[in-house]
Amino acid sequence: MSAPPTPFLDVPTLLERSSERPRAPLVGYFVAGMLLVILLMGYFSATGSTVGESVSALLPLIVLLLVGGAAASSFSNVRRHRAEQRQLEAIEEFVQLRNWPAAGMALDGLLLAPPRSAGIRVQGLIYLASVLARYGRYEDAISVHSYLLEHVPLDPGTHYGLGVGRTMAMLHEDHLFDADRAIGELRRLGDREDSAGLALIEIYRDVKTGHPAEAIALFEQRSAMLRDKLGHRVGDAYALVARAYDQMGNDEQARLAWRRATLLAPAIELTRRYPNVAPTAAKYEPAPAPQGM
């Protein structure tokens, strides 16, 4: 009876199967094989056996086989590493093009076996967290983020970025206490006054917890930095602040902020990212799409 198929992007399975396995030390096997041949030659020579002469005659062939086997194994490892690198580059392209099904299938293929490089595995897991978040699987995304933050040595920038992603996923799942604690940890990582990701998280938290005035004040304080750092994704901040104005009953400012948000991103995408802005999306007209779009 065949085993049931593995679910699509099954996080526990991918984390377990992609874990590095101890690999055979090929150089050690080569040296051990040579030592064995030398010992056998010495033994048969000492006993005067004709087998020793046969072994001596076969020695060049044995050495050639050992060297050839080691070279073939090394070549196979290099070829597989290059194939995995190309696979990772394809995943990166799929993510950039927002081709999430293709990215997910490629990640399944990459992480269902241990990659030859720890760096490829880590980058694959980072992309996995992004794809999971895009599919709204925030609990799974939190699991991947937490695994990376707790078990993998990361440079400070990557550690901070993953912390931001995990905190946003926590907010999406209404883990408000954990998210508040994570925000405090992000603040303690250093001087992050120019962190657009942290500012967006704090605005989202204030909107989500019914503190629209604080969300608006933070947006006004950091608006120049948000526009500079986020590019077109500043539309997310405008969508959240539109919801904050709407919560306060300021229709004029809410309508203006929503228009700015939908100039930068489709309303359907904004409500997918932040479901709590749906009442605002239903209330105000989005900006008209540019001609030719």
Cα separations (Å) of 222 from 13, 171, 219?
41, 20, 5
pLDDT tens, 223-244?
Answer: 999 999 998 899 999 999 999 9
What's the pLDDT band for 271 if we cut at 50, 70, 90? very high
Place of tokens 């001087």: 191
CA distance 209 to 221: 20
pLDDT value for 53: 58
In the three-class reduction of DSSP (H, G, I as helix; E, B as strand; rest coil), residue 11 is classed as helix
Residue closest to 169 by CA, chosen among 206, 193, 199, 134? 134
Flag whether the pTM goes above 0.85: no
For residue 190, is it left (φ>0), alpha (ψ between -120 and 50) or beta?
Answer: left
For residue 101, is it left (φ>0), alpha (ψ between -120 and 50) or beta?
Answer: alpha
pLDDT tens, 130-144?
Answer: 999 999 999 999 999
pLDDT tens, 27-50?
Answer: 565 566 666 666 666 665 666 556
pLDDT tens, 80-101?
Answer: 768 889 999 999 999 999 999 9
